[in-house]
Amino acid sequence: MQIDLSGRKALVSGSSQGIGLAIATQLARAGAAVVVNGRTADKTETAAAQVRNDVPGAEVTAVAADLASSEGAEQLQAEVPDLDILVNNLGIFGAKPVLEVDDDEWRHYFEVNVLSAIRLIRMYLPGMTERGRGRVLNIASDSAIVTPVEMVHYGVTKTALLAVTRGYAKAAAGTGVTVNSVIAGPTHTPGVEDFVHELVGDDQEWDDAQRQFMREHRPYSLIQRLIEPPEIGNLVVYLSSDLASATTGGAVRVDGGYVDSILP
Protein backbone atom coordinates (compact mmCIF):
# COMPACT_ATOMS: atom_id res chain seq x y z
CA MET A 1 0.00 0.00 0.00
CA GLN A 2 1.22 3.47 -0.87
CA ILE A 3 0.07 5.99 1.72
CA ASP A 4 0.43 9.64 0.79
CA LEU A 5 -0.63 12.24 3.35
CA SER A 6 0.73 15.19 1.40
CA GLY A 7 -1.36 18.30 1.88
CA ARG A 8 -2.62 17.16 5.28
CA LYS A 9 -1.75 18.85 8.56
CA ALA A 10 -1.43 16.59 11.61
CA LEU A 11 -1.07 17.36 15.30
CA VAL A 12 0.28 14.78 17.73
CA SER A 13 -0.22 15.83 21.33
CA GLY A 14 2.48 14.87 23.80
CA SER A 15 4.93 14.13 21.01
CA SER A 16 8.22 15.38 22.43
CA GLN A 17 9.29 11.79 23.11
CA GLY A 18 8.29 8.13 23.04
CA ILE A 19 5.25 6.92 21.15
CA GLY A 20 4.13 10.44 20.26
CA LEU A 21 7.45 11.30 18.66
CA ALA A 22 7.42 8.04 16.70
CA ILE A 23 3.89 8.76 15.46
CA ALA A 24 4.88 12.27 14.39
CA THR A 25 7.89 10.87 12.53
CA GLN A 26 5.85 8.23 10.70
CA LEU A 27 3.22 10.80 9.69
CA ALA A 28 5.99 13.04 8.35
CA ARG A 29 7.42 10.10 6.37
CA ALA A 30 4.00 9.77 4.73
CA GLY A 31 4.13 13.43 3.69
CA ALA A 32 1.97 15.12 6.31
CA ALA A 33 2.90 18.52 7.73
CA VAL A 34 3.33 17.70 11.40
CA VAL A 35 2.79 19.76 14.56
CA VAL A 36 4.88 18.44 17.44
CA ASN A 37 3.70 19.29 20.93
CA GLY A 38 5.17 19.21 24.42
CA ARG A 39 4.96 21.21 27.61
CA THR A 40 8.36 22.93 27.34
CA ALA A 41 9.84 24.80 24.41
CA ASP A 42 13.25 23.17 24.65
CA LYS A 43 11.99 19.58 24.52
CA THR A 44 9.44 20.38 21.84
CA GLU A 45 11.96 22.12 19.59
CA THR A 46 14.41 19.24 20.10
CA ALA A 47 11.75 16.75 19.07
CA ALA A 48 10.85 18.77 15.98
CA ALA A 49 14.52 18.90 15.03
CA GLN A 50 14.74 15.13 15.40
CA VAL A 51 11.79 14.62 13.04
CA ARG A 52 13.42 16.93 10.48
CA ASN A 53 16.67 15.00 10.82
CA ASP A 54 14.96 11.63 10.41
CA VAL A 55 12.73 12.82 7.54
CA PRO A 56 14.67 15.27 5.36
CA GLY A 57 12.39 17.91 3.89
CA ALA A 58 9.63 17.31 6.40
CA GLU A 59 7.40 20.25 7.32
CA VAL A 60 7.44 20.33 11.11
CA THR A 61 6.10 22.93 13.55
CA ALA A 62 6.84 22.91 17.27
CA VAL A 63 4.16 24.21 19.65
CA ALA A 64 4.88 24.15 23.37
CA ALA A 65 1.63 24.10 25.36
CA ASP A 66 0.30 22.20 28.36
CA LEU A 67 -2.76 20.52 26.88
CA ALA A 68 -3.89 19.25 30.27
CA SER A 69 -5.37 22.72 30.76
CA SER A 70 -7.97 24.65 28.80
CA GLU A 71 -5.52 27.58 28.59
CA GLY A 72 -2.91 25.39 26.94
CA ALA A 73 -5.44 24.03 24.45
CA GLU A 74 -6.56 27.54 23.54
CA GLN A 75 -2.93 28.58 23.08
CA LEU A 76 -2.42 25.66 20.71
CA GLN A 77 -5.49 26.49 18.66
CA ALA A 78 -4.38 30.10 18.35
CA GLU A 79 -1.16 28.87 16.71
CA VAL A 80 -2.77 26.01 14.77
CA PRO A 81 -6.33 27.03 13.80
CA ASP A 82 -7.17 24.00 11.62
CA LEU A 83 -6.16 20.38 11.31
CA ASP A 84 -6.78 17.44 9.02
CA ILE A 85 -5.46 14.82 11.46
CA LEU A 86 -5.67 15.02 15.25
CA VAL A 87 -3.77 12.41 17.25
CA ASN A 88 -4.51 12.59 20.97
CA ASN A 89 -1.46 10.87 22.38
CA LEU A 90 -0.86 12.87 25.56
CA GLY A 91 -0.99 10.64 28.62
CA ILE A 92 0.61 9.84 31.95
CA PHE A 93 0.96 6.56 33.81
CA GLY A 94 2.55 5.21 36.94
CA ALA A 95 2.30 2.28 39.32
CA LYS A 96 0.45 2.87 42.60
CA PRO A 97 -1.83 0.75 44.81
CA VAL A 98 -5.36 1.80 43.94
CA LEU A 99 -6.36 2.40 47.57
CA GLU A 100 -3.59 5.00 47.80
CA VAL A 101 -4.80 7.06 44.83
CA ASP A 102 -6.59 10.08 46.27
CA ASP A 103 -9.14 12.42 44.67
CA ASP A 104 -6.55 14.91 43.47
CA GLU A 105 -4.57 12.23 41.66
CA TRP A 106 -7.72 10.79 40.05
CA ARG A 107 -8.62 14.27 38.83
CA HIS A 108 -5.11 14.84 37.47
CA TYR A 109 -5.20 11.58 35.50
CA PHE A 110 -8.56 12.49 34.00
CA GLU A 111 -7.40 16.01 33.10
CA VAL A 112 -4.34 14.70 31.26
CA ASN A 113 -5.54 11.40 29.79
CA VAL A 114 -9.18 12.16 29.00
CA LEU A 115 -10.08 15.85 29.09
CA SER A 116 -7.05 16.86 27.02
CA ALA A 117 -8.43 14.72 24.18
CA ILE A 118 -11.99 15.97 24.63
CA ARG A 119 -10.88 19.61 24.49
CA LEU A 120 -8.96 19.16 21.27
CA ILE A 121 -11.71 17.15 19.60
CA ARG A 122 -14.20 19.85 20.54
CA MET A 123 -11.89 22.46 19.00
CA TYR A 124 -10.98 20.74 15.75
CA LEU A 125 -13.83 18.37 14.88
CA PRO A 126 -16.25 21.11 13.71
CA GLY A 127 -13.77 22.35 11.09
CA MET A 128 -13.19 18.80 9.87
CA THR A 129 -16.89 18.08 9.52
CA GLU A 130 -17.47 21.35 7.67
CA ARG A 131 -14.76 20.40 5.17
CA GLY A 132 -16.04 16.83 4.93
CA ARG A 133 -12.64 15.34 5.64
CA GLY A 134 -10.60 14.57 8.73
CA ARG A 135 -9.21 12.00 11.09
CA VAL A 136 -9.30 11.89 14.90
CA LEU A 137 -7.23 9.22 16.63
CA ASN A 138 -7.10 8.65 20.37
CA ILE A 139 -4.16 6.61 21.62
CA ALA A 140 -5.58 4.22 24.16
CA SER A 141 -3.98 1.15 25.73
CA ASP A 142 -4.47 -2.52 26.43
CA SER A 143 -5.00 -1.26 29.99
CA ALA A 144 -8.37 0.05 28.81
CA ILE A 145 -9.53 -3.56 28.51
CA VAL A 146 -7.24 -5.49 30.86
CA THR A 147 -7.16 -3.21 33.91
CA PRO A 148 -3.69 -3.52 35.47
CA VAL A 149 -3.79 -4.01 39.23
CA GLU A 150 -0.68 -1.87 39.67
CA MET A 151 -2.26 1.17 37.95
CA VAL A 152 -6.04 0.99 38.04
CA HIS A 153 -6.32 4.78 37.80
CA TYR A 154 -4.49 4.76 34.48
CA GLY A 155 -6.55 1.89 33.11
CA VAL A 156 -9.82 3.58 34.01
CA THR A 157 -8.88 6.74 32.08
CA LYS A 158 -8.02 4.68 29.00
CA THR A 159 -11.35 2.85 29.26
CA ALA A 160 -13.04 6.24 29.33
CA LEU A 161 -11.14 7.23 26.19
CA LEU A 162 -12.71 4.32 24.28
CA ALA A 163 -16.16 5.67 25.15
CA VAL A 164 -15.10 9.19 24.19
CA THR A 165 -14.02 7.84 20.81
CA ARG A 166 -17.26 6.03 20.15
CA GLY A 167 -19.34 9.03 21.18
CA TYR A 168 -17.54 11.52 18.96
CA ALA A 169 -17.58 9.06 16.05
CA LYS A 170 -21.37 9.15 16.33
CA ALA A 171 -21.27 12.95 16.42
CA ALA A 172 -19.31 12.88 13.15
CA ALA A 173 -21.55 10.30 11.46
CA GLY A 174 -22.04 10.86 7.74
CA THR A 175 -19.57 13.72 7.49
CA GLY A 176 -16.57 11.91 6.00
CA VAL A 177 -14.63 12.34 9.27
CA THR A 178 -13.55 9.23 11.15
CA VAL A 179 -12.84 8.91 14.86
CA ASN A 180 -10.98 5.87 16.18
CA SER A 181 -8.98 4.62 19.14
CA VAL A 182 -5.65 2.86 18.80
CA ILE A 183 -5.14 0.28 21.52
CA ALA A 184 -1.40 0.22 22.05
CA GLY A 185 0.13 -2.70 23.89
CA PRO A 186 3.19 -2.67 26.15
CA THR A 187 5.61 -0.42 24.27
CA HIS A 188 9.33 0.25 24.61
CA THR A 189 9.83 3.89 25.62
CA PRO A 190 12.16 5.58 28.13
CA GLY A 191 9.24 5.98 30.51
CA VAL A 192 8.37 2.30 30.24
CA GLU A 193 12.00 1.38 30.86
CA ASP A 194 11.78 3.27 34.15
CA PHE A 195 8.46 1.58 34.91
CA VAL A 196 9.87 -1.87 34.17
CA HIS A 197 12.87 -1.32 36.43
CA GLU A 198 10.53 -0.01 39.14
CA LEU A 199 8.61 -3.29 39.05
CA VAL A 200 11.41 -5.84 38.56
CA GLY A 201 14.39 -4.00 40.05
CA ASP A 202 17.17 -1.93 38.52
CA ASP A 203 20.03 -4.33 39.19
CA GLN A 204 19.92 -6.17 35.86
CA GLU A 205 20.56 -5.47 32.19
CA TRP A 206 17.67 -4.12 30.12
CA ASP A 207 17.11 -7.28 28.05
CA ASP A 208 16.88 -9.39 31.19
CA ALA A 209 14.61 -6.86 32.89
CA GLN A 210 12.31 -6.73 29.84
CA ARG A 211 12.01 -10.52 29.69
CA GLN A 212 11.19 -10.69 33.40
CA PHE A 213 8.62 -7.91 33.07
CA MET A 214 6.86 -9.59 30.15
CA ARG A 215 6.95 -12.97 31.88
CA GLU A 216 5.64 -11.74 35.24
CA HIS A 217 3.49 -8.71 34.40
CA ARG A 218 2.42 -9.07 30.73
CA PRO A 219 2.41 -12.85 30.23
CA TYR A 220 -0.36 -12.88 27.61
CA SER A 221 1.65 -11.01 24.96
CA LEU A 222 1.81 -13.18 21.87
CA ILE A 223 4.93 -11.48 20.52
CA GLN A 224 6.55 -11.84 23.98
CA ARG A 225 8.40 -8.54 23.71
CA LEU A 226 7.70 -4.86 24.06
CA ILE A 227 6.35 -3.15 20.95
CA GLU A 228 8.61 -0.58 19.32
CA PRO A 229 7.07 2.91 18.94
CA PRO A 230 7.23 3.04 15.10
CA GLU A 231 4.98 -0.03 15.06
CA ILE A 232 2.30 2.11 16.74
CA GLY A 233 3.03 4.91 14.28
CA ASN A 234 2.46 2.62 11.29
CA LEU A 235 -1.11 1.89 12.34
CA VAL A 236 -1.77 5.58 12.99
CA VAL A 237 -0.55 6.44 9.48
CA TYR A 238 -2.92 3.89 7.95
CA LEU A 239 -5.92 5.08 9.99
CA SER A 240 -5.06 8.66 9.01
CA SER A 241 -5.22 7.82 5.31
CA ASP A 242 -8.03 7.57 2.78
CA LEU A 243 -7.52 3.81 2.80
CA ALA A 244 -9.20 3.67 6.23
CA SER A 245 -12.28 5.65 5.19
CA ALA A 246 -14.67 2.88 6.33
CA THR A 247 -13.10 2.45 9.76
CA THR A 248 -14.68 4.67 12.41
CA GLY A 249 -15.88 4.38 15.98
CA GLY A 250 -13.46 1.51 16.44
CA ALA A 251 -10.84 0.42 18.92
CA VAL A 252 -8.08 -0.89 16.67
CA ARG A 253 -5.42 -2.99 18.35
CA VAL A 254 -1.65 -2.89 17.92
CA ASP A 255 -1.04 -4.74 21.15
CA GLY A 256 1.17 -7.66 20.21
CA GLY A 257 -1.80 -9.93 20.85
CA TYR A 258 -1.77 -9.04 24.55
CA VAL A 259 -5.55 -8.67 24.92
CA ASP A 260 -6.87 -12.24 25.09
CA SER A 261 -10.00 -11.62 23.06
CA ILE A 262 -11.17 -11.85 19.46
CA LEU A 263 -12.84 -8.46 19.95
CA PRO A 264 -11.48 -5.31 21.65
Classify residue 98 as left (phi > 0), alpha (psi -120 to 50) or beta: alpha
CA dist 13 → 18, 107, 147 (Å): 12, 19, 24
Q: Which is the catalytic residue, given 154, 168, 238, 258?
A: 154
Strands annotated E in the chain: 9-12, 33-38, 60-64, 85-88, 134-141, 177-184, 251-254
State yes or no: is 220 an active-site residue: no
Would you say 121 and 136 are in contact if contact means Cβ atoms under 8 Å apart?
yes
Write out the H or E segment, with its range, that includes residue 244: none
Would you say 81 and 61 are in contact if contact means Cβ atoms under 8 Å apart?
no
Write out the H or E segment, with its range, that includes residue 151: none
Distance of alpha carbon 134 from alpha carbon 155, whole angstroms: 28
Which of 25, 53, 48, 27 has the alpha carbon at shortest distance from 38? 48
56 by DSSP, 3-state: which?
A: coil
Angle at 146 between CA 207 and CA 164, to 5 degrees: 115
Distance of alpha carbon 26 from alpha carbon 51, whole angstroms: 9
Catalytic site residues?
154
